[in-house]
């Protein structure tokens, strides 16, 4: 019972963080590994993704009520992410992910430095593309992050936010809203593969999902109340923590 309470609390906090800037897995995945050290890693990831699906879905709905989601860009990205996330999940069962593990902290460091140096990045919402160009860029973004999310996963939400800001001209608030929709597509796709292979603890996952939904509601309200500038600052904090965590996992473990 205590284990469930710990994982529920971790999922609640993960929901708050993930709703605003992504990176909820930074909290939820280590908690699962700590509480259930004898469980197969794929099962822990599957259980986490089940909770994440409900959390991201709740955030997406909450944002949609208050922020105008750019569906012309988000929908193609979500479709591409769905398809490639499944491909990534399949590939990871056949190709070692050690190279990606080592490269991840370097990529995150680039994201952090670029965001920090460009003070106006994501401060205003001024979409850069339209028509076919918007769709092509969206498909490329969704495909790349979708494959990464299925193949490896950590930091996918934060990468999505950065890419929507950098390559679409969104502010951080709108980018976070868009990222949640794409995250939902990634989670559904990955869960299809993981569920088919029996890698989900359904009862635990649904309890964690309820806690993450509650956290997502709180996190979305905080983000909407404080705006894009606040989300940008929190984004940098979460990316910095992701760099430390993934760097430790890649080079010190």
Lowest mean pLDDT among 71-80, 108-117, 137-146: 108-117
Mean pLDDT, the chain, integer: 88
Give the DSSP per-residue string, 108-119.
HHHHHHHHHH-T
Residues 6+ positions from 86 with CB-CB distance below 8 Å: 150, 189, 190, 192, 193
Task: For 33-66, write each residue's pLDDT tens digit.
Answer: 889 988 888 888 889 989 999 999 999 999 998 8
pLDDT band at 6 (very low <50, low <70, confident <90, very high): very high
Calculate mean pLDDT across residues 227-251. Answer: 87
**Which percentage of the chain shows pLDDT scores above 90?**
47
Lowest mean pLDDT among 148-157, 216-225, 242-251: 148-157
Residue 97 has a pLDDT of 63
pTM: 0.86
Residue 225 has a pLDDT of 93
Calculate mean pLDDT across residues 151-175. Answer: 87
pLDDT band at 174 (very low <50, low <70, confident <90, very high): very high
Residue 251 has a pLDDT of 79
Residue 181 has a pLDDT of 94
Which is more confidently placed, 2 or 154? Answer: 2
Residue 115 has a pLDDT of 86
Task: For 126-157, write each residue's pLDDT tens digit.
Answer: 777 778 899 999 999 999 999 888 777 767 88
Task: For 195-215, write each residue's pLDDT tens digit.
Answer: 888 889 999 999 999 999 999
Lowest mean pLDDT among 93-97, 151-155, 185-189: 93-97
pLDDT of 231 above 80: yes
Residue 59 has a pLDDT of 93
Calculate mean pLDDT across residues 70-93. Answer: 88
pLDDT band at 84 (very low <50, low <70, confident <90, very high): very high
């Amino acid at each position: 019972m205590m284990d469930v309470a710990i994982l529920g609390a971790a999922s609640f906090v993960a929901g708050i963080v993930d709703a605003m800037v992504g990176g909820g897995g930074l909290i939820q995945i280590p908690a699962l590994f700590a509480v259930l050290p004898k469980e197969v890693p794929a099962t822990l990831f599957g259980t986490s993704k089940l909770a994440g699906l409900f959390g991201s879905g709740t955030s997406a709905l909450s944002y949609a009520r208050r922020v105008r989601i750019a569906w012309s860009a988000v929908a193609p990205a979500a479709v591409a992410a769905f398809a490639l996330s499944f491909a990534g999940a399949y590939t990871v069962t056949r190709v070692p992910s050690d190279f990606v593990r080592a490269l991840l902290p370097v990529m995150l460091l680039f994201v952090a430095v670029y965001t920090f140096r460009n003070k106006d990045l994501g401060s205003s919402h001024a979409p850069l593309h339209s028509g076919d160009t918007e769709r092509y860029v969206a498909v490329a973004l969704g495909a790349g992050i979708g494959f990464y999310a299925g193949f490896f996963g950590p930091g996918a939400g934060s990468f999505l936010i950065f890419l929507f800001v950098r390559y679409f001209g969104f502010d951080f608030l709108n980018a976070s809203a868009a990222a949640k929709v794409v995250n939902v597509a990634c989670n559904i796709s990955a869960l299809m593969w993981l569920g088919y292979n029996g890698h989900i603890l359904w009862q635990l996952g649904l309890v964690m999902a309820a806690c993450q939904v509650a956290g997502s509601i709180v996190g979305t309200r905080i983000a909407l109340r404080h705006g894009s500038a606040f989300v940008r600052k929190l984004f940098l904090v979460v990316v910095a923590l992701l760099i430390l965590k993934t760097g430790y996992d890649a080079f010190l473990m």
